[in-house]
A and B are shown apart, each in its own frame.
Chain A
Amino acid sequence: MTLLKVDKLEVVYHRVITAVQGVTLEVAKGSIVALLGTNGAGKTTTLRAISGFIGMDDARVTQGSITYRGERIENRPPHRITSLGIAIVPERSKVFENLTVDENLEAAVPRRGARFAKDVVYEHFPALVRQRRREAGYLSGGERQMLAIGAALMCGPELLLVDELSLGLAPLVMEELGRALRTIRDRLDTTLLLVEQNAQVALGLADYGYVMENGRIVLDGTPERLRAHEDIREFYLGAGSGERRRNYRDVKQYRRSRRWYG
């Protein structure tokens, strides 16, 4: 079933800056969906709009809709959305630095009906067990990300939004994290919507992917389809079409129209 449906979403900052224009995407229950794109594409804004935490940046959903389990949730107060079962792991400031790992997990408020024990989190992220009583500020990047995801899981969400999953993480750590996420998806029945800049990571982890650019979805499909797409290969995976040696000037002047939605 479709858990989350975003339909022709438009998000405007300060009443004048349109950051997201006409985004349509779907997240099926039990899947891992990736939202790809470079900086400034509007991915974080989309996530924030879904989670409800956009008001403080003076942003609003001005058109379109976000539907969760059939219920419209755009422009709703964030605590309502959290209680419906959507949790977000933000890009920055994702843990409480002066609290211990244990306390970080305790701080999360489980939504009504969901009960989570810390042991479940420690099961999925065994690296955190050693650091139980350590202040979160002293953790490494990978451990921090694990803690952030674990704390979000303590809220018992049905849909977990993760902003910039792999930012700052070493490839090996990312592999371990990817494995953990798949296990979480399988065992805890948690659906994941990931925002990623790193196309390799995203396509390796997800069941379905959307590519965003300048506030619009320009391409979507399964990882295989996306990997095969010429433009993705060119601009996101660094694999050129092999015709000749390109330099940056060439690409700019070439002005090749991107064959989106082919």
Chain B
Amino acid sequence: MQLAVNIAVLASIYALICCGYVLIYRVSRVLSLAHGELMMLGAYGLYATASLFGGHPLIAVVAACVLAATVGIAVYLALMWRMTGESVLAAVLATIALGILLRGAMILVFGTQTQYPLRDLGWTNASVPVGDARISAAGLALILATAAVYGGLFAFLHGTRWGIRMRAAGQHPLLAAQRGVGLHGVYALAWGLAALTGGMAGMLIACDAGLEGTLVIIGLKAFPAALVGGLDSLAGALVGSLVVAAAEVLLIHYVDPLLSDVVPFVLLLAMLAVRPWGLFGTREELDRV
């Protein structure tokens, strides 16, 4: 039972981060490998706002979310829009370089100490019993946040006009432009949403376990989850996260704890060998690259 709880929490983390990978890829065909750093930036954002708005934790949380989304949009406007139309490798490298830049900048601004934003917010990470297992409040928040985010995104992308336009821009950017859709606006929105969801994951992990530099690795481990599910499918991201999280937790428990960092990548390789476009991805994706 505890294993199931752990899987659920880990899967939620991966799923929230994968949101970003899938959104950006689906809408602008760019693979953003800077997502781990954006996630950490969100967490540091919470740390910053928690110190600022010491007495008002809710305001701090909301401010941190707004900050994360703004950073995402800013990243697009400052850098990524120049890379639209460039080769795949160039765009991916630009995101990698951005990640490096962000990581260095974060250390310069915030230092290398481990931080505990939850403490600054004035909340405690209570442990909640579930059956005969326990789950932390932050873990529960993670699961709920993932459900809310995915539900919201599905509703947005399939129910609202701008969601449809985002999907359209992802399929045929030129045709979307000919129909009056502002591509830069759509891409900026995708980046903003991606940074927001990734930042939320970062914030919640920081609340759960503390904020330190190794957080970025989680971002990188979430990437295989997105690929396993299919880079352009949100449903796939959910399923992929569950699969990878389950494999990781079970193998750590039954075989060897050191495997945790490498399991997602082995799964990734297996998936690439068998079905490169993932469980739910569209097949053309493979040839398009």
Asked whether any CB of A lies within 8 Å of a CB of B in the complex, the reply is: yes
| B-contact bits for A79-90, CB 8 A (1 contact / 0 none) | 100110001101
Residues of B within 8 A of A93 (CB): 172, 174-175
With A99-B164, A99-B167: A110-B180 Cβ-Cβ less than 8 Å? yes
Q: Check B165–A107 contact: CB distance below 8 A.
A: yes
- The SS class assigned to the B binding surface is helix
Q: Check B178–A53 contact: CB distance below 8 A.
A: yes
Which of these, A79, A95, A97, contacts B180 with CB under 8 Å? A79
Residues of B within 8 A of A107 (CB): 161, 164-165, 167-168, 176, 179, 181
- B171: Cβ under 8 A from any A Cβ: yes
Interface residues of A, count at CB 8 A: 29
Q: Check B180–A108 contact: CB distance below 8 A.
A: yes
B279 vs chain A, min Cβ distance (A): 17
| A-contact bits for B144-174, CB 8 A (1 contact / 0 none) | 0000000000000000010011011001101
Q: Check B180–A53 contact: CB distance below 8 A.
A: no
In the assembly, what is the distance between CA of A109 and CA of B174, in Å? 14
In the assembly, what is the distance between CA of A130 and CA of B161, in Å? 22
Q: Check A90–B175 contact: CB distance below 8 A.
A: yes
| B-contact bits for A92-118, CB 8 A (1 contact / 0 none) | 011111110001101111110000000
| A-contact bits for B80-98, CB 8 A (1 contact / 0 none) | 0000010000000000000
A107 vs chain B, min Cβ distance (A): 4
A104 vs chain B, min Cβ distance (A): 8
- B107: Cβ under 8 A from any A Cβ: no
A101 vs chain B, min Cβ distance (A): 12
Q: Check B177–A96 contact: CB distance below 8 A.
A: no
Q: Check B177–A99 contact: CB distance below 8 A.
A: no
- A51: Cβ under 8 A from any B Cβ: yes
- B182: Cβ under 8 A from any A Cβ: yes
Q: How many A-B residue pairs have CB under 8 A?
A: 70
Which of these, B85, B165, B178, contacts A82 with CB under 8 Å? B178
| A-contact bits for B126-140, CB 8 A (1 contact / 0 none) | 000000000000000
In the assembly, what is the distance between CA of A82 and CA of B181, in Å? 10
A252 vs chain B, min Cβ distance (A): 39
Q: Check A109–B165 contact: CB distance below 8 A.
A: yes
In the assembly, what is the distance between CA of A96 and CA of B165, in Å? 10
- A155: Cβ under 8 A from any B Cβ: yes
B166 vs chain A, min Cβ distance (A): 9
Q: Check B164–A155 contact: CB distance below 8 A.
A: no
In the assembly, what is the distance between CA of A130 and CA of B176, in Å? 24
A79 vs chain B, min Cβ distance (A): 6
Q: Check A53–B172 contact: CB distance below 8 A.
A: no
Question: Which 6 A-B pairs have CB atoms at the shortest separation, nearest pair first?
Answer: A109-B180, A107-B168, A108-B179, A103-B164, A96-B168, A155-B180
18 CB < 8 A contacts A-B: A78-B177, A79-B182, A82-B178, A93-B174, A95-B175, A96-B167, A96-B176, A98-B167, A98-B171, A98-B282, A103-B167, A106-B164, A106-B165, A109-B179, A109-B181, A109-B182, A111-B180, A152-B178
Q: Can you name 16 extra interface pairs (CB under 8 A) apart from A79-B182, A87-B178, A99-B168?
A: A53-B177, A87-B179, A88-B178, A93-B174, A96-B175, A96-B176, A98-B171, A103-B167, A103-B168, A107-B176, A108-B179, A109-B165, A109-B182, A152-B178, A155-B179, A155-B180
